[in-house]
Structure 1
Amino acid sequence: MITMVGKAVRKWWALFALPTFAAFIIGFLVPFIMGIYLSFTKFTTVTDAKWVGLRNYSGVFSDKEFIHALWYTVAFTVITTIVVNVVAFAIAYMLTKTMRGSNFFRSVFFMPNLIGGIILGYIWLLPLNGVLAKWGRSITFSGTYGFWGMVLLVCWQQIGYMMIIYIAGMQSLPGDVIEAAAVDGASGRQTLTKVIIPLMMPSITVCSFLTVTNGFKMFDQNLALTNGAPSNSSELLALNIFRTFYGRIGFEGVGQAKAVVFFVIVAVIVLLQNRLTTSKEVAA
């Protein structure tokens, strides 16, 4: 029976693979190549593109708002990645212990991830402005308030999702290794740092990858919570690119160049992060 199934798969593999491959070509590869081409042109529509060389890219790096948004996004991503993963790991560690209501708490922590980014932004806008009103401030009073408001929002949203991944990783840990550590006299802290965390590196790699990419590409929450105010000082990269492309007539080519630069930055960071965590996993 298995042999017959294997022969059928080898015979009809194209029937299953080609539609997916065609969708990948049409939906991703062709637009991606066109996007790179358009980043070297001045255009309002695809049909009237005129080649301008590196002029758009010089406009990218001379745009002070883009540079500010870049460093603003880097700081935001670093902080949210650390906070989300540390807190999610700690909660997962506690909820894998024997305790009453653990399933209930898992559901509660995961629920924010089911809410859309735009809705989350408006949900958090009310309490944050309510608290800041005591000092005569609002979330859009300065870029600093917007920054920490978005940090709170994203951490609240993503911790539950990462917690589920960490719980799955902890539940698959070999129990005999942990028991051996206890028999050898290892304390709870030593077991955590010397046994559990090294064995959890695959889950840590996945969660780090997700939080880094989510931090860099965040758009909906930024749009709903601050919309870049005041004076675009709370603008993340995705919102800056969107505003350049759709909000500034004649800057479509610059917006496309920003998108290409954005892609390269995220790709490099993800590759470095993946290499770093993988090397730690191998060393463990």
Structure 2
Amino acid sequence: MAKAIKRSKWPEYLVFIGPAMFFFTLIVIIPFLMSMYYSLTDWNGVSSKATFIGLDNFKKIFMDDDLFRKDFWFTIRFTVVSVLLTNLIGFGLAMLLTRKMKLRNVYRTVFFLPNVIGGLLLGFIWQFIFVKGFATVGELTGIGFFQLPWLGDAATAFWGLVIVQCWQFAGYVMVIYIAALINVPKELIEAAHIDGASKWVMLKQITVPLIMPAFTVCFFLSISWCFKVFDLNLSLTKGGPFNSTESVALNIYYEAFRNNRYGLGTAKAFIFFVIVALVTVLQVMYTKKKEVQA
């Protein structure tokens, strides 16, 4: 009887899930499998024939491609710094904007707005700010901070990318943290306050453990954003100066579309996918263990 009921549900499953699964397979699964095949070939992206070369592309990446390793180290540094700062700023804004204040909703909207702007447009806007805006302010005020060669030096260009990345996404994680903070039971906070607990103790022992699911989501998203940074990198620095700020995603793009080595580019993309997937899975597993079980 139970099997008959389950069989009768199949048409309903196909109607609701079938189209989504079809397009997901067509747009994601099939291209992913094709890219796995092309990573084992020498293909320029134009000819109809792709020469199978086995694991030669992967050997070349690990043994001869110093630029890819350099770009990977830059991406790791950029990800660590940006993830920590983005979540720290977003959480701080959420703590501030969950208090009673005038224009609270307006401030929330203002801080979220940078996330609405596309990465390419945002990069060009901030390129103008760093090159023209900061230089003008530096000339008028004489403040050294504004007179730095923000996009002309490796160290300052790195921090320029970090600043724009945090400015764009801090408002997004802020919204998630606000939703979590609103749902913290006020009774627990009041009880801790009556018992004489300080604000730091209440934050550390009550608030943070209760909103740990929000940290899980925000860290997962921010790690994914920072590892895959591309449009912002392309429009702001183009990987310069001298490839010092070239991300892995930009390296893959140049390899495939500028050098016309699609086989090598897809091999790099596959390695990148495995590493990002591994990092995000480990992060989710770690933060999930910290969550308070209801």
Identify whether the pair has TM-score above 0.5, normalized to the shorter chain. Answer: yes
Cα distance in 1 for partners of 2:135, 2:209 equals 42
| TM superposition shift of 1:140 | 3.7
CA contact (8 A) 1:162 1:207 kept: yes
Gaps of 5+ in 2: 1-5, 139-143
Q: What's the C-alpha RMSD, in Å, of the aligned pairs? A: 2.1
Cα distance in 1 for partners of 2:278, 2:115 equals 27
CA contact (8 A) 2:148 2:156 kept: no
User: Sequence identity of aligned pairs in percent?
Assistant: 39
Which stretch shifts more, 135-144 or 13-22? 135-144
2:205 maps to which residue? 194
Amino acid at match of 1:280: K
Cα distance in 1 for partners of 2:116, 2:161 equals 17
Amino acid at match of 2:43: F
The match for 2:120 among 118, 121, 129 is: 118
1:217 aligns with 2:228: yes
2:44 maps to which residue? 44
1:264 maps to which residue? 274
The match for 1:69 among 68, 71, 76 is: 71
CA contact (8 A) 2:124 2:235 kept: yes
| TM superposition shift of 1:139 | 3.9
Matches within 5 A, 1:82-121: 82-121=84-123
CA contact (8 A) 1:93 1:167 kept: yes
After superposition, the C-alpha distances for 1:97-144 in whole angstroms (9 at most, x for unaligned) are: 111121111111011111010111011111211335858764442322
Cα distance in 2 for partners of 1:127, 1:182 equals 45
Matches within 5 A, 1:231-242: 231-242=242-253
Structure 1 pair 58/140, CA: closer, same or farther in 2 (3 Å)?
farther
Amino acid at match of 2:85: V
Cα distance in 2 for partners of 1:137, 1:246 equals 33
Structure 1 pair 183/7, CA: closer, same or farther in 2 (3 Å)?
farther
| TM superposition shift of 1:44 | 2.4
| TM superposition shift of 1:231 | 2.2
- TM-score, with length taken from structure 2: 0.89
1:13 maps to which residue? 13
| TM superposition shift of 1:60 | 1.4
Cα distance in 1 for partners of 2:99, 2:221 equals 25
Q: Matched residue of 2:291: which SS?
A: helix
Q: Matched residue of 1:208: which SS?
A: helix
Which stretch shifts more, 174-183 or 195-204? 174-183
| TM superposition shift of 1:283 | 7.8
Cα distance in 1 for partners of 2:193, 2:210 equals 16
1:176 aligns with 2:177: no
2:32 maps to which residue? 32
Gaps of 5+ in 1: 1-5
1:164 aligns with 2:175: yes
- TM-score, with length taken from structure 1: 0.92
